[in-house]
Structure 1
Amino acid sequence: MNNLIDGLSMNIEQTNLDKLRSVFPECVSEGKLDIDKLLSLCGEYIDNDFEKYKFEWKGKADCLRLAQKRSTGTLRPCPEESVDWDTTQNLYIEGDNLEVLKLLQTAYYRKVKMIYIDPPYNTGNDFVYADDFADPMARYKEVTQQTTKSNPETMGRYHTNWLNMMYPRLRLAANLLRDDGVIFISIDDVEIDNLKKLCNEIFGEENFVAQFIWQSRQNKDNRNITGVSIDHEYVVCYTKQFGHRVFRGTDRKTEQYKNPDNDPRGPWTSANMVGLATADARPNLHYDLINPADGRNYGCPEKGWRYDRNTMNRLIQEGRIIWPDNPDGRPRKKSFLNELSDNLPGFSSVFSTGVYTNTATKEIGGLFNKYLFDFPKPVEVIKQLVSQVSNTDDIILDFFSGSATTAHAVMQLNAEDGGNRRFILVQLPELCDEKSEAYKT
């Protein structure tokens, strides 16, 4: 109720202090945190050596204060611009995403299952968010008039500007994720190193899941002076809390499981039994394998067998060894379909092959009969990620909405599996270049 009374967004600083007080009450005195006492309780004792590994840049402290500064803004509903206003549970919000992320804290704190963002890659011509809310109206005019500047390397704050834009937004985004929440961030080579350091600090180095590689370019780029065609982008993934399986996994291919001998244990496929260790490393896996039925000796592979003698004898007794007619052949094992683990095979870190940036351009062209967006993401790329980590009633957030591919992916996946996933999208109000197709439309 306090937020309704004072007209401010959620007090993140006080919320964090209350959390610490509930666990370490002795570290809070007169409403202030005793950081030295907190560190000592965690086994970190203060000494005079201040030289330690840390990730710093100019403006970092100001960014943290900016992220935790309470907002006086409000979200204004627009039923006249909406579809199914009374029934939809999806949100598309137009505004500066830093302010919007603050306003979402109260209603969606720790409720979002997945975040996907495709932020500016910092190529030098990207839009740079200048976060100064001293005069909200002037700021709004600046945004809507597109009176912003690019971020060339020559200005001396190339990486710093990008970090100052990303840091407070990721801080606020982390608050919205559930304990089992996952964040995906698209990026390229320019800021991949800084992004991972940033996420290590915000989400925890131990919560890093993967750095996915997506082949975004279909045709080779011959413009690079190095002679290398950079054909890929990255999708960095972190989870909110380590200790759970993040990805559902890849669907199994079970067509190879047959039952030609009517085995009562059901369909099976033959599996390799050749080992991977030398005799010096695993002498117990090196022995001659003999078929007890006819005494035929199949010898021992160079890297031995996959199972020791006791396990192999058990497999023989269970009738699970397939003996080849050719003495030079290798015996194999029957692996039954009903023995497969509930866990699906892992999702590859190289994903969405055959789907490129120009795939998305064609998708947009098919919807509008014009090419209205620069470098949109294909629906299939984001749909794969959503399908891997979300359940049918989860909330998906994208606060760099762009061409709204995330919304498209969520709705398409819902249509395919009958889900009721909801999305929250945020996009800065931008005026189109008067020469662009989007402006003409």
Structure 2
Amino acid sequence: MNKLDGKTMDLVQHNIDELKKLFPEVITEGKIDFDRLRLLLGDEVDTGKEKYEFTWPGKSDCIRLSQQQSTGTLRPDKESSKDWDTTKNLYIEGDNLEVLRLLQKAYHRKVKMIYIDPPYNTGNDFIYKDDYKDNVKSYKEKTEQSMKANPATAGRYHSEWLNMMYPRLRLAKNLLSDDGAIFISIDDTELDNLKKICNEVFGEENFIACIAWHKNYASANDSKGFSSVLDYILVYRKSENFVRNLLPRTDKQNSLYKYDSNDGYGPWRPDNLSVKTYSKEYDFTIINPTTGVEYNPPKGRCWVTNKNTIDKWIKEGRVFFGQTGNGAPQLKRYLNEVQQGVVPITYWSYDECGHNDEARKEIKQLFSEPPFDTPKPTRLIKQILNISTNKDSIVLDFFSGSSTTAHAVMKLNSQDDGNRKFVMVQLPEPCNEDSEAYKAGFPNICEIGKERIRRAGENLKEEYKDKEGIENLDIGFKVFKLDTSNLKAWDPDVEELEGTLKGMVDPIKEDRTQEDMLYEIMLIYGIDLTIPLEEIQIKGKTAYSVGLGYMIVCLEDGLTLDVIEAIGAMKQSGQEIARVVFRDSGFADDNVKTNAVQLLKKFGIEDFRTI
């Protein structure tokens, strides 16, 4: 009988397994023969003493930190959730490094788009210093204290910021689907450093764009130097499988097509009939059929096509000679023939994507006083969603702040009947006791983010109440909170002999529930936390059916073979039961435990684990 070990995804072993697939001959008795690997790579190995690289104090520790397995779990919080039983959205409170570790199995290569708005390292924002030994314990201690900024006068000012960002980006990359992309907001304080670590994590060949967003519509007249009106958004793809979408055409762009000849082709606009790229075959005289006037292309240019095609267009009325028919030839460019979308450019104006003041007004409409100082406008995030997602995508934001990303996801879904799902992750950073947020009853940023989702979702349903299908809009979210393991044996902080001995009889901590343990098991197996769950009774014992019966979890005591046979009968009745999990100490006696394995195999259930 196999026991679950409580460990999250082993990224080091995963990397070794991937290397085995590419170069099986470099594996010797389970170890990597680097000399043989170097031989296979040939001249591509850089063995010189001097090489191009980007490094800083703590970088090696960052790599090791990103590969550590987690000792924590995510505990459900139904009270602060919305539509718990039906929603597919997640809101997770906790240190995002540890949360990203915990999501490695469940969301591996499943996230279509990641957007983050991390601290810009301007000297006033909080930079979390990770504990290299036990990040969960450190997180729980630090969130009870006041957060501290990373002032520019501090030693290793840039290094501290890089040490925070690097391991998180490495873990985030694993969650991106092969056709996914990450968008990162930043200003010019750390733009160059961010681009360097992204080049390393995602690969220079996967750099897509550095977008300049015009965030302010007015300059700051009190600025001592230049007034900064731009932020930047770095865009990296996971692989060449990423294909950006076209942006929707705007009413302003379509308004140029203001003519209609009632020829069945719809609205059109006049366009230049000549092009710069010269071809002798396309250099000829066009005769106006009404006036007989001859027209040649401008010097150094030619017409867009050959004479036969132009003559055909003239007969069809596709060449326009002015309103009276006495003008020079122009091409009728029909709206229905142009690309039904716009290629994104790397400058985004505030007219197109909103600005900081608009973002503050948006949040003020939801709260009487804005409880968050630096939100992004939803139009900005919607632009990113339009470019990088489809209607069923999973969207992740692990610096979620006031939950603008969740707001934007719900807004776009309400407009295009999408079913995008969001995963928000936020450290419960305490609000200053003098702040408007604290006075309004929000002790930390997470409370602001959750309340914004609640209010924004209801507002969207009201705004689009006349739209067919709006009642199906998912405006809920399941809340989970980072904590130490629910099982004593899996918690490295439980060291006392007495506690260990007691844990062999009662392995689950006293303040934890079976449902807490259920979600920890799901994380270990890599099962989506929003998958359908059902509490069922099996021969008088409470159990959980996960994923419509895919996995059965029963953590009760006094289990007999009747329970095992009942599970087998469920399998024979057509349920796709593939996995079963029990408590190791939950069997009535050792004979039941021994016979349970063979009995489940008889029913075709091979994956049988205990905790």
Normalised by the size of structure 2, how large is the TM-score?
0.66
Residue in structure 1 matched with residue 271 of structure 2 by the alignment: 271
In the alignment, which residue of structure 2 is the partner of 1:315? 310
The one-character-per-residue Cα deviations of 1:104-153 (angstroms, maximum 9, x if unpaired) are 01110000111110000000121111110524565134421344432223
Give yes or no for the alignment of 1:398 onto 2:402: no
Q: Counterpart of 1:242 in structure 2: which amino acid? A: E
Shift in Å at residue 270 of structure 1? 2.6
- 1:123-202 to structure 2, matched below 5 A, reads 123-136=122-135, 139-202=138-201
Q: Does 1:203 align with 2:202?
A: yes
State the one-letter code of the partner of 2:66: A
Partner residue, 2:280: 284
Contact 1:352 1:381 in 2 (8 A): no
1:112 alignment partner in structure 2: 111
Instruction: State the secondary structure of the residue aligned to 1:22.
Output: helix
Q: Kindly state the Cα deviation for residue 256 of structure 1 after the two structures are TM-superposed.
A: 4.6
Given that 1:113 and 1:177 are in contact with CA atoms closer than 8 Å, whether structure 2 keeps it comes out as yes
When residues 283 and 75 of structure 1 are mapped into structure 2, their CA distance, relative to the original with a 3 A threshold, is closer
* 2:237 paired with 1:239: yes
Of the structure 1 ranges 262-271 and 393-402, higher mean CA displacement relative to structure 2 is found in 262-271
Residue type of the partner of 1:357? Answer: N
CA contact (8 A) 1:298 1:329 kept: no
Match of 2:301 among 300, 304, 320: 304
CA deviations on 1:193-222 (whole Å, 9 max, x unpaired) are 111111111111121111112111232112
CA deviation vs aligned residue, 1:250-298 (integer Å, no higher than 9, x gap)? 3264455577544466654332023335xxxx47378452318575322
How far, CA to CA, are the matches of 2:266 and 2:375 in structure 1? Answer: 47
Which residue does 1:212 correspond to in 2?
211
Deviation, structure 1 residue 328 = 9.8
Q: Which residue number in structure 2 is paired with residue 348 of structure 1?
A: 345
SS in 2 for 1:209: strand
Q: Provide the residue aligned with 1:366 in structure 2.
A: 365
Mean Cα displacement is larger for which, 293-302 or 5-14?
293-302
| Cα distance change of structure 1 residues 32 and 306 upon mapping to structure 2, 3 Å threshold | farther
Which residue does the alignment assign to 2:438?
439
- Distance (Å, rounded) in 2 between the aligned partners of 1:147 and 1:262: 69
Distance 1:376-1:285 versus aligned 2 partners, 3 A rule: farther
Structure 1 unaligned segments of length 5 or more: list them: none
- SS, match of residue 108 in structure 1: coil
Task: Specify the code of the residue in structure 2 equivalent to 1:314.
Answer: T
Alignment-derived partner of residue 24 in structure 2? 25
SS in 1 for 2:4: helix
- In terms of mean alpha carbon deviation, does 399-408 or 250-259 score higher? 250-259
Matched-pair contact (CA < 8 Å) for 2:110–2:175:
yes
Worse-superposed segment, 316-325 or 215-224:
316-325
- Gapped regions of structure 2 (runs ≥ 5): 441-611
- C-alpha distance in structure 2 between counterparts of 1:296 and 1:137, whole Å: 82
Q: Secondary structure at the match of 1:121?
A: coil
What is the CA distance between 1:80 and its match in structure 2? 1.8
CA distance in 2, matches of 1:416, 1:116: 20
* C-alpha distance in structure 2 between counterparts of 1:324 and 1:417, whole Å: 39
- Whose radius of gyration is greater, 1 or 2? 2
Q: What aligned pairs does 1:372-387 form with structure 2 within 5 A after superposition? A: 372-387=371-386
1:312-349 Cα distance to aligned partner (Å, 9 max, x none)? 4422234243345999954212334454346x221232
Q: Secondary structure at the match of 2:74?
A: coil
Q: SS state of the match for residue 237, structure 1?
A: strand
Secondary structure of the structure 2 residue equivalent to 1:44: helix
Distance 2:8 2:134 in 1: 17
For 1:49-70, what per-residue CA distance to the aligned partner results, in whole angstroms no more than 9, with x for missing partners?
Answer: 2322111112111101000000
Supply the RMSD in Å over aligned alpha carbons.
Answer: 2.7
Secondary structure, counterpart of 1:110 in structure 2: coil
CA contact (8 A) 1:250 1:346 kept: no
Give the residue type in structure 1 aligned to 2:106. A
Aligned equivalents of 2:223 and 2:424: distance in 1?
35
Give, in whole Å, the separation in 2 of the partners of 1:47 and 1:260: 64
Q: Which residue of 2 aligns with 1:41?
A: 40
Query: Compared with structure 1, are the counterparts of its residues 223 and 285 closer, same or farther at alpha carbon in structure 2 (3 Å cutoff)?
Result: farther
CA–CA separation in structure 2 for the residues paired with 1:17 and 1:60: 21
1:244 and 1:431 map into 2 onto residues whose CA distance is: 38
Compute the displacement of 1:160 (Å).
0.9
1:46 and 1:137 map into 2 onto residues whose CA distance is 38
Which sits farther off after the overlay, 209-218 or 111-120? 209-218
Look up the equivalent residue of 1:208 and give its one-letter code. Answer: F
Q: Is the contact made by 2:178 and 2:242 (CA closer than 8 Å) also made in structure 1?
A: no
CA distance in 1, matches of 2:212, 2:134: 41
Give the residue type in structure 2 aligned to 1:315.
I
Secondary structure at 1:154 match in 2: coil
SS at match of 2:232: strand
2:388 aligned partner, one-letter code: V
Deviations 1:299-324 (A, max 9, x none): 3413312436xx24422234243345
Q: Which secondary structure does the structure 1 equivalent of 2:249 belong to? A: coil
Which residue type is aligned with residue 317 of structure 1? K
Cα shift readout 1:335-385 (whole Å, capped 9, x = no counterpart): 34454346x221232225232112121222221101211211112211221
Alignment-mate amino acid for residue 234 of structure 1: Y
Structure 2 vs 1, CA of residues 152 and 63 (structure 1 numbering), >3 Å: closer, same or farther? same
> Structure 1's 325 and 259: CA in aligned 2 closer, same or farther, altered over 3 A?
closer
Q: So what's the TM-score if we normalise by structure 1?
A: 0.89
* Residue-by-residue CA offset, 1:172-194 (whole Å, 9 max, x unaligned): 00000001111110000001111
% identical equivalent positions: 50
